[in-house]
Amino acid sequence: MTNAAVAPANSWSLEQKLLFRFGCIYLLLYMSPWTWLGDIPLLNLIGEYYGIAENWLVTQANASVFHVKDVLVPLNGSGDTSYGYAQLCFFLLIATIGAVIWTIFDRRTNYNTAYYWLLVVLRYYVAMVALRYGIIKLFGQQMIFPSMSALATPLGDLLPMRFSWYFIGYSTPYQFFSGAVEVTAGLLLLFWRTSTLGAFVAASVFLNVMMMNLCYDIPVKLFSIHLFLFSNLLLIGDAKRLLAFFIFNKPAGPATRLVLPRQWMRTTQTALKVAFAGLFLILPLYGFFKDIRETNGSSAPKKLTTGFFSVDNFQGTTIDSLRWKDVVFEATNSGSIQTADTLFRQRYRRGYFSYTLDSLRHTLAFKKFADDTIPIFTMAYTIPDTNHIVLRGKVRNDSVVVALTRQRRHFQLAERQFHWLSEANR
């Protein structure tokens, strides 16, 4: 939709006014434009206090009305938690009540100007989201290539979301391409002349995202559905023009644009557009380039080794589920163990860990998470040769000895294969 979705009639029908009032309140609650500047000092306090107030209201409304769940799980890596659904119900309730009150006290015949500016805010919201996720993909930071631990995990143990994540992360060019399309949509939406094309691109992108989330059980379903609907909402104001051009093979007139009457208004509009591009395009790009430069320039922490190791000997426990079957040391200071021991982060029947190496004492401090300050246990290591490692230490108050042997595991998926000529279906 261009900035130009101004209703042609001077007087709106009652249904149009009710729909606008409800939609306006719901969209503003969902987009929360007053929280967009959360990274700026002082202004972030607005978003912080708003978040506290909203959390309290949603929790109280859930306890009194919705009863989605007795104890709401807050939004985390998943956007589809019980809190997310309670929040959705709360927004719908407030929009309904607000629309009724608005209708009782407001006697205006149309909302042409308000509708125009609401769509401007919506357009910038979709652009902001498209730029944010697109830039992450440009640098290959949203989906990563399967680690050695992931490659060692049986395919049947993966959940659909992780399976889809590795599907995209496997191919850096494909992830870059998908990010470039999202960034293109965001850039097109920044200018009213190209905003209709930008809405088309955004709708296509978010349709694909929505279907992946729905079909692979990725827990961002509510958010992606909203983005797809928002992108289509941006096209509704141009529906007659689009139908005339694409369906009825008739001339489509130019889009109507609200022209600000005063120069200072136009200057302010331009300044806000530049500030928006700086905050959500230039600064994120600069941040990623800076992180890459610092990462390349900084010295990597000491690591023990990299590779896949079988456990030739495990002494220290008779509980089979706690025994180690194999150990993977990643290229970073992390790895995984085929064990059901809950001392580690359990995922897909493997226990994941991070570690800190002390080369003077020849010890490994195993941690559940990389930023943990207290290790779950520490083991001494000896390396007889490049293919063998022996670990000794206390785990769960048991003296444990683990003998590891490097295995030349060959994972075809890690080769990133590509063939122009394929004589058979592989």
| DSSP assignment string, 390-416 | EEEEEETTEEEEEEEEEE----GGGG-
What is the SS3 assignment for 199? helix
What is the SS3 assignment for 141? coil
Q: Is the dihedral of CA 45, 49, 50, 52 positive or negative?
A: positive
Q: Does position 2 have pLDDT exceeding 90, yes or no?
A: no
pLDDT of residue 426: 67
Q: What value does the mean pLDDT of the chain take?
A: 90
Q: Does this model's pTM top 0.75?
A: yes
Q: Which amino acid is at 266?
A: R
Burial category of 364 from C-beta neighbours within 10 Å (exposed 0-12, middle 13-18, buried 19 and up): buried
Question: Under CATH, to which class is 307-410 assigned?
Answer: mainly beta
pLDDT of residue 347: 93
- State what percent of residues in the chain have pLDDT above 70: 96
Q: Does position 259 have pLDDT exceeding 80, yes or no?
A: no
Rounded CA-CA distance 390/404 in Å is 6
pLDDT of residue 297: 66
Task: Tell me the per-residue pLDDT of 242-251, one tens digit each, with 9 for 90 and over.
Answer: 898 889 888 8
Query: Distance from first CA to last CA of the chain, Å, rounded?
Result: 44
* Residue in 217, 20, 209, 245 with CA at minimum distance from that of residue 126: 209
pLDDT-derived band at 269, boundaries 50, 70, 90: confident
Task: Tell me the per-residue pLDDT of 316-336, one tens digit each, with 9 for 90 and over.
Answer: 877 777 899 999 999 999 999
pLDDT of residue 160: 94
Q: Does position 58 have pLDDT exceeding 50, yes or no?
A: yes
Q: Which amino acid is at 6?
A: V
User: Where in the chain are the domains?
Assistant: 14-258, 307-410
pLDDT of residue 266: 79
pLDDT, average across residues 374-403: 94
Task: Tell me the per-residue pLDDT of 197-220, one tens digit each, with 9 for 90 and over.
Answer: 999 999 999 999 999 999 999 999
pLDDT of residue 299: 64
Rounded CA-CA distance 379/389 in Å is 12
pLDDT-derived band at 419, boundaries 50, 70, 90: confident
Task: Tell me the per-residue pLDDT of 126-147, one tens digit each, with 9 for 90 and over.
Answer: 999 999 999 999 999 899 999 9
Q: Does position 274 have pLDDT exceeding 90, yes or no?
A: no
